[in-house]
Structure 1
Amino acid sequence: MSSDVVLVQNPIEETRHEEVFDHQDQPKKQKSSFEKLRRHDSLDLESATVPGHHDRGSQRSVILQLAFQSIGVVYGDIGTSPLYVYAGIFPSGIKNKDDILGVLSLIFYTITLILLIKYVFIVLRANDNGEGGTFALYSLICRYAKAGLIPSQQAEDYNVSKFKLELPSNRLKRASRLKSMLENSNFAKIFLLLVAMLGTSMVIGDGILTPCISVLSAVGGIKEKAPSMTEGRIVGISVAILVCLFMFQRFGTDKVGYSFAPILCIWFAFIGGIGIYNLFKFDPTVVKAINPKYIIDYFKRNKKDAWVSLGGVVLAITGAEALFADVGHFTVRSIQISTCTVTYPAIMLAYIGQASFLRKHEDLVPDAFYKSVPGPLFWPMFVVAVAAAIIASQAMISGSFSIIHQSLSLGCFPRVKVVHTSTKYEGQVYIPEVNYLLMLACIGVTAGFKTSNNIGNAYGIAVIFVMSLTSSLLVVVMIMIWKTNILFVIAYVLTIGSVELIYLSSVLYKIDQGGYLPLAFAAVLMIVMYIWNNVYRRKYYYEVDHKISSEKLKNTNFTRIPGLAMFYSELVQGIPPIFGHYLENVSALHSVLVFISIKSLPISRVPIEERFLFRRVEPRELNVFRCVVRYGYTDVHNERDSFEKTFLERLKEFIKKDTWLTQMQAQKGATTEKDTELEDGFEHDHNAKQDGEGEQEEVVRKEIELVEQACQAGVVHLVGETDVIAGKGAGVGKKFLIDYAYNFMKKNLRQTDKVFEIPHNRLLKVGMTYEL
């Protein structure tokens, strides 16, 4: 692919594009692919045929149904924020009655600017073929600029139906400069990856804090009707609820997920209705807080205290990132509809109602939410609040699983088992080890901090940090992929970007009051991710530098034994060095051998029709192939469908196509040589063509028969298990990184065969030590 072709995606279109090739054009396309195959020493035959891929229906009824379902999955976190926001803003009480108007104005403009304008109308359009989140933005950038740190890019990857090409124009100069900078600067590549890691770590930290603060705030309301309920008992009840919540994760969101929507609809109806009731009962004049003048007055009166209180205002937009992260389960349009028609009006009415109540009851700010609930509605509201808090926790825990699953695909997280919990919804996964660690962390935070106010100090940092990182990546997407007008980019940075930086400065002020917690979580996760990714890249580069040529394989003496061997390797191009180690000690090859590489593309999903890419290792008589099995970052590897069955079907198809292409190439060469003798040799050429077709069919039949016989003799999975040690002369830091930190994680987590569900009775491990 020429360097002047730029990859782009239209951010506005929600439908997925597909290329349809006319049958008559297929030989031309295949011939082109064949030529590229010979030129690039890569795997690209199968990518020439891209069958249609259907998207969700766009009918209005389907969109409305998805909008309803999204209420139960997306809005649990931001919907339960009214439980604790005012208490977080006024921890020492209200000093001036007009401060309530200033704070209400701050809440109104913060939610409108960040939730509505930034996320609903801008960020949601930066989805990656329907997927959202920090890694979705990172993958977009890596796809349009070669900013990945693993040298596994292949020409045929750009032919996957998730990619789209656009020819360069004058509008792309700025984008091309940024693209060039990312591709040519190793520092920029590492920095970009660290930003994605940090954002991921903060979201996981959010997944730890959300259950704690939501459940504690909801359960704490019981003190209103049971004054004898002590803080210790409330903490105990909250811990019990959290333990039950994590125990039920193994059953998957699909089992209970869409029963959440009616509960949250009731919740939003309650808080919106009670907000209207309180507005008219206590002080209808609070609606004048729409005037931003009250924000200026608030800061004039309180100065530093007003700035510090911004950390509490941030709690009003917790969960805004979930809109983007969960867009893969729904559509952009459905989330926009549910936000604008249900969530935004309901939570704004809740905050307005509480402000009206506090104008008459300034001393009740610590328990403003439950105190403002009319007496007859208290118990129904309490039950619904606890249910909504559990739902909010469920959404963030599920989101943490999805994010870690995405991190795995980029080699940024130690291998753990990913369980696909739903046959209907691809993104719903469960990770046992992570679930256990999250449960311990949540119990520790709840028991240690005891109140929602203390947790709120920590919560704010995680929320605004992720938002700031999302904005940073979004600016890169705007310039490089969307080619947005520079004036709009500057306007975005000066308004939304500056507001987020002000909020970030405020929450960092409380770092000694609990704010260190998400930073500590993020630091631990970043260290784990960095260690794993660093050694993962070192191993890959070692294999690239020490790979075996096909010539060496051809000139090695070995015996052939019946059967089909599938040799797993990280290496996409060439034969891995561990296979040479195997051959030196065994000196035998199965009758059919396939080198399999599991590769993650910087796209959300790879259709099953485009997953397998084959290439023959010459000479043909060896019956040795290479296969790259490509996954997107949301694809689940241990699929329920038989991997072997699909693999063998694709291998047979490849043999047919490869034989056909070889014959076409031979005929093309023969035609060129005899072009001047076309008339005299017509009869001879016609007969030769018929003979060639007969020979081709015979070759295909024999090869497929050989593969089938090999399968009947037995399929063996050869897995390379590499131990890594620091090379001679390595420094103390490198020795600690490889010999202790990485090897400790590797020994205590799952091995390759467990991750990919390889049958144990047909598994053979080949060990080798790499000196990195």
Structure 2
Amino acid sequence: MEENQTVNESGSSHHHHNIDKISAAGLLIAMGIIYGDIGTSPLYVLKAIAGSEPINEEIILGALSCVFWTLTMQTTIKYVILTLRADNRGEGGILALFALVRRHAKWLTIPAIIGASALLADGIITPPISVASAIEGLRIKFPDIEQTTIVKIVILIISLLFIVQIFGTKKVGYLFGPFMLAWFSMLAILGVVWIAKDLTVLKALNPYYAYELLVHHPGGFWILGSVFLCTTGAEALYSDLGHCGRGNIRISWIFVKICLLLNYFGQGVYVMGLNGQMLGDRNPFYNLMPEWFLPFGIFIATSAAIIASQALISGSFTLISEAIRLNFWPKIKVNYPSDQKGQIYVPSINILLWIGCVSVVLYFSKIAGEMTEKNIADALALNKNLDLAVLTKSSEVLLSSAMEAAYGLAITMTMIMTTTLMAYYLYAKKFNLWGIILFITIYFGIEGAFLIANLQKFPHGGYVSLIIAGIIALVMYIWIRAFKIKTRMTEYEKLDKYTESLKELSADITVPKYATHLVFLSNAGRASEIENKIIYSIFQKRPKRADVYWFVHVDTVDDPYTMEYKVMTVADDDVYKVNFRLGFRVPNKINLYFRRVLEDMVKCGEVDIRSRYESLNKHNVIGDFRFVVLERFLSYENELPFWEGLVMRAYFFIKQYTPSEDKWFGLDSSAVKVEKVPFVIKAIENINLKRIPWTANGSSNGGH
């Protein structure tokens, strides 16, 4: 007998959540969570574009034109208009997109791994550069402040930010929303004041100036590496779709984009006023401010920079929770601080991101110091009579400037992978083929150009983000590959083959009773099958007599919030199999869900869960439940192919640092037995061992 039910936990209302709904609270949360990264780009984009060469008005106009059309083509059209349509029941991000298309082609796993790992790497680079760029505004008010002091302040702020994560992004969003509203308003006002001084800057709206810069100006193409920094937060915008909703993102983006462009163009007016000069240590962003406003501006900018980090951190939590359920990442603890959809906190990832961010700050502060020493040495080699104090100040390389080289390269890879998956999504949805070809041509062209331009950053620090992304991608590859190896090598048996044996064991009073209800967690997706290792555990390892045997399987489905189950009665009142179908965003609370299944079955009269001991049964006492979780370890009895052996050794090495299966499934530890089972991929063959006879005196021939 089989029946379909839905597990109606409180979270199931999320299924019907309208992601196109627009609300004041939703707009406030969107403002606070998802625009930090892209919203603080004005702190460093024009500074990076102006670079260390004399300022040329044509270059600035061309770069501003590139900024405008990048924000329009990349952020607005690709992400806000097109990619946000590819929601997986309200969830966004590269892995949610992968879950929508993975059944169509196995090779899509590759762009998903590359894109996800690069996005996580970007989450480690974003907080340091955003916070450092803002804090360096203190140098305008305090010219003598030392680099080491800046580094300490940046590390302190980043550390406090990661502590805040434990409260959940809903509270963080309400807290940060008003700050970001003030930030974007400030960007717009400062921009308008400066644009009014020279309206000719609006010529940059014409794509002709971008074309002239990229095609005809010597070295103009390489400026794209700096221009790209204006759109790095677009991927986080898509990742945080589940936190804020599509409607709130689209409406708030109109306001955000206008404010950003006004500020970029205002900075353009200031920079073009320095035509022929070197930008030096001037920051175009802070130079827009009147002197009396500077302290307030630095405070608001610092607040916004702190919030900038939030976009990638919350996106990283979302990404990891999806990766775990899709078998891309080790099973680690995921917390749900509130009942709002998409609100999650991953403690171990929070710690790893913090360690990564602090390490990036320390590493690039060392690089900045070395670059400063080189600049001083080069200047003294040309003129030994220079004042050392003045030279040291003028030659100093700022922390944010050193980190710019590491920023952008990884996220370009993510954007290209998102384009690949999105193109396949459009194909799977049977969109117009010529439209898909146009989409691929335009965005592979744009992002390919950005990638080439960003590659020049590789030897100057870009390798840092790629190394981080490479390590993350390696872990993901090991996990998904090991999962496939385990799936391929797991042996299954027909459950009905052992039904009579289970009933006989249940009735055999000569075997001590192990539990009234014995529950095994099974990997067998088919209702009629069970793993060989479970049969071995019940009958051979230690005979486990129980009154009722339960086999529970959890199937992760592509729909993020599915909560369903099926029950198959193998033998009335003796053997049952329960299959849960849970979405990749549903918490793993199997203890809770199983209890709900029992309640439903008792109401329907399908099972009696009372104790079978006479003294307890007559008082309607519920029988005890015992869960058995079988954890594998790599057997010594293996003759492994080299590559698979390497993958499995790496898998089990990582696994020893992750929570046990019972904790991952949310089981009550007092009622769980964890059994270690050897994992044999291929038994050792061709053992050259022969038997020899014993001699009459009791010794063997020819041996010691």
- Taking structure 2 as the reference length, the TM-score comes to 0.84
| 8 Å contact kept, 1:86–1:368 | yes
Q: In structure 2, what is the equivalent of residue 216 of structure 1?
A: 132
Please give the per-residue CA displacement for 1:640-665, whole angstroms capped at 9, x wherever unaligned. x9445323224436xx4xxxxxxxxx
Q: In structure 1, what is the equivalent of residue 661 of structure 2?
A: 752
Please give the per-residue CA displacement for 1:273-308, whole angstroms capped at 9, x wherever unaligned. 000011113x221001112221232235533x2122
Q: In structure 1, what is the equivalent of residue 256 of structure 2?
A: 343
Structure 1 residues 196 and 555 mapped into 2: Cα distance closer, same or farther (>3 Å)? same
Looking at structure 1, the residues matched to 310 and 596 of structure 2 have their Cα atoms a distance apart, in angstroms, of 35
Q: From 209, 220, 223, give the equivalent of 1:309.
A: 223
Write the mapping of 1:454-493 to structure 2, written as runs, cut at 5 A.
454-481=402-429, 483-493=430-440
Looking at structure 2, the residues matched to 374 and 116 of structure 1 have their Cα atoms a distance apart, in angstroms, of 32
| 8 Å contact kept, 1:364–1:371 | no
Q: From 97, 104, 107, give the equivalent of 2:64.
A: 104
Code of the residue aligned with 2:480 in structure 1: it is N
- State whether structure 2 residue 318 is matched by structure 1 residue 402: yes
Code of the residue aligned with 1:713 in structure 2: it is G
Structure 1 residues 723 and 701 mapped into 2: Cα distance closer, same or farther (>3 Å)? closer
Q: In structure 1, what is the equivalent of residue 537 of structure 2?
A: 582
User: Greater shift after overlay, 750-759 or 131-140?
Assistant: 750-759
Please give the per-residue CA displacement for 1:532-554, whole angstroms capped at 9, x wherever unaligned. 222222222222x3435321342
Q: In structure 2, what is the equivalent of residue 550 of structure 1?
A: 496
Looking at structure 1, the residues matched to 297 and 495 of structure 2 have their Cα atoms a distance apart, in angstroms, of 70
| 8 Å contact kept, 1:310–1:506 | yes
Structure 1 residues 711 and 745 mapped into 2: Cα distance closer, same or farther (>3 Å)? farther
Structure 1 residues 711 and 752 mapped into 2: Cα distance closer, same or farther (>3 Å)? farther
Looking at structure 2, the residues matched to 731 and 48 of structure 1 have their Cα atoms a distance apart, in angstroms, of 43
Q: From 362, 383, 387, give the equivalent of 1:447.
A: 362
Looking at structure 2, the residues matched to 97 and 52 of structure 1 have their Cα atoms a distance apart, in angstroms, of 56
Looking at structure 2, the residues matched to 397 and 352 of structure 1 have their Cα atoms a distance apart, in angstroms, of 29
Deviation at residue 420 of structure 1 after TM alignment: 1.2
Looking at structure 1, the residues matched to 138 and 13 of structure 2 have their Cα atoms a distance apart, in angstroms, of 56
Code of the residue aligned with 1:734 in structure 2: it is E
Structure 1 residues 460 and 359 mapped into 2: Cα distance closer, same or farther (>3 Å)? same
| SS of 2:16 mapped into structure 1 | coil
Please give the per-residue CA displacement for 1:112-141, whole angstroms capped at 9, x wherever unaligned. 111111111111101111110111111111
User: Greater shift after overlay, 581-590 or 519-528?
Assistant: 581-590
Looking at structure 2, the residues matched to 364 and 244 of structure 1 have their Cα atoms a distance apart, in angstroms, of 33
Structure 1 residues 432 and 54 mapped into 2: Cα distance closer, same or farther (>3 Å)? closer
Code of the residue aligned with 2:158 in structure 1: it is L
Deviation at residue 638 of structure 1 after TM alignment: 3.9
Looking at structure 1, the residues matched to 234 and 287 of structure 2 have their Cα atoms a distance apart, in angstroms, of 26
User: Greater shift after overlay, 64-73 or 124-133?
Assistant: 64-73
| SS of 1:467 mapped into structure 2 | helix
Looking at structure 2, the residues matched to 486 and 193 of structure 1 have their Cα atoms a distance apart, in angstroms, of 23
| 8 Å contact kept, 1:272–1:346 | yes
Q: From 124, 143, 157, give the equivalent of 2:84.
A: 124
- State whether structure 2 residue 450 is matched by structure 1 residue 497: no
Q: In structure 1, what is the equivalent of residue 150 of structure 2?
A: 234
Structure 1 residues 550 and 480 mapped into 2: Cα distance closer, same or farther (>3 Å)? same
| 8 Å contact kept, 1:726–1:738 | no
Looking at structure 1, the residues matched to 408 and 174 of structure 2 have their Cα atoms a distance apart, in angstroms, of 29
Code of the residue aligned with 2:626 in structure 1: it is V
| SS of 2:57 mapped into structure 1 | coil
Q: From 127, 131, 135, give the equivalent of 2:95.
A: 135
Code of the residue aligned with 1:616 in structure 2: it is T
Write the mapping of 1:492-641 to structure 2, written as runs, cut at 5 A.
492-543=439-490, 545-547=491-493, 549-555=495-501, 557-560=504-507, 561=513, 563-573=516-526, 574-583=529-538, 584-607=540-563, 610=564, 612-617=565-570, 619-620=571-572, 623-638=574-589
Looking at structure 2, the residues matched to 702 and 289 of structure 1 have their Cα atoms a distance apart, in angstroms, of 74
Percent sequence identity over matched residues? 30
Please give the per-residue CA displacement for 1:243-282, whole angstroms capped at 9, x wherever unaligned. 121223222223332121111000000011000011113x
Q: In structure 2, what is the equivalent of residue 742 of structure 1?
A: 651
Structure 1 residues 54 and 471 mapped into 2: Cα distance closer, same or farther (>3 Å)? closer
Please give the per-residue CA displacement for 1:16-64, whole angstroms capped at 9, x wherever unaligned. xxxxxxxxxxxxxxxxxx7xx6xxxxxx63379999987346997x534
Deviation at residue 210 of structure 1 after TM alignment: 0.8
Code of the residue aligned with 2:360 in structure 1: it is V
- State whether structure 2 residue 42 is matched by structure 1 residue 82: yes
Deviation at residue 728 of structure 1 after TM alignment: 3.4
Code of the residue aligned with 1:551 in structure 2: it is K
Q: In structure 1, what is the equivalent of residue 632 of structure 2?
A: 722
- State whether structure 2 residue 63 is matched by structure 1 residue 63: no
Question: Structure 1: which 5+ residue stretches go unaligned?
Answer: 1-33, 38-43, 148-178, 183-188, 657-699
| 8 Å contact kept, 2:14–2:561 | no
- Taking structure 1 as the reference length, the TM-score comes to 0.77
| 8 Å contact kept, 1:275–1:352 | yes
Code of the residue aligned with 2:630 in structure 1: it is G
Looking at structure 2, the residues matched to 254 and 323 of structure 1 have their Cα atoms a distance apart, in angstroms, of 16
Looking at structure 1, the residues matched to 654 and 246 of structure 2 have their Cα atoms a distance apart, in angstroms, of 38
Structure 1 residues 479 and 771 mapped into 2: Cα distance closer, same or farther (>3 Å)? same
| 8 Å contact kept, 2:52–2:279 | no
Please give the per-residue CA displacement for 1:320-346, whole angstroms capped at 9, x wherever unaligned. 112211111222222111111x11100
Q: From 613, 627, 641, give the equivalent of 1:731.
A: 641
Looking at structure 1, the residues matched to 642 and 545 of structure 2 have their Cα atoms a distance apart, in angstroms, of 41
Deviation at residue 468 of structure 1 after TM alignment: 1.0
Looking at structure 1, the residues matched to 299 and 668 of structure 2 have their Cα atoms a distance apart, in angstroms, of 48
| 8 Å contact kept, 1:124–1:332 | yes
Number of equivalent positions? 628
Structure 1 residues 81 and 711 mapped into 2: Cα distance closer, same or farther (>3 Å)? farther
Write the mapping of 1:136-155 to structure 2, written as runs, cut at 5 A.
136-142=96-102, 147=103
Looking at structure 1, the residues matched to 488 and 478 of structure 2 have their Cα atoms a distance apart, in angstroms, of 16
Looking at structure 1, the residues matched to 14 and 328 of structure 2 have their Cα atoms a distance apart, in angstroms, of 30
Please give the per-residue CA displacement for 1:643-695, whole angstroms capped at 9, x wherever unaligned. 45323224436xx4xxxxxxxxxxxxxxxxxxxxxxxxxxxxxxxxxxxxxxx
Q: From 216, 226, 238, give the equivalent of 1:324.
A: 238
Structure 1 residues 547 and 726 mapped into 2: Cα distance closer, same or farther (>3 Å)? farther
| 8 Å contact kept, 1:133–1:324 | yes
Looking at structure 2, the residues matched to 569 and 262 of structure 1 have their Cα atoms a distance apart, in angstroms, of 49
Q: In structure 1, what is the equivalent of residue 674 of structure 2?
A: 765
Deviation at residue 704 of structure 1 after TM alignment: 6.1
Code of the residue aligned with 1:627 in structure 2: it is V
| SS of 1:45 mapped into structure 2 | strand
User: Greater shift after overlay, 343-352 or 377-386?
Assistant: 377-386
Q: In structure 2, what is the equivalent of residue 15 of structure 1?
A: none
Deviation at residue 734 of structure 1 after TM alignment: 2.7
RMSD: 2.5
Code of the residue aligned with 1:620 in structure 2: it is D
Structure 1 residues 95 and 380 mapped into 2: Cα distance closer, same or farther (>3 Å)? closer
Q: From 182, 189, 211, give the equivalent of 1:296.
A: 211
| 8 Å contact kept, 1:72–1:259 | yes
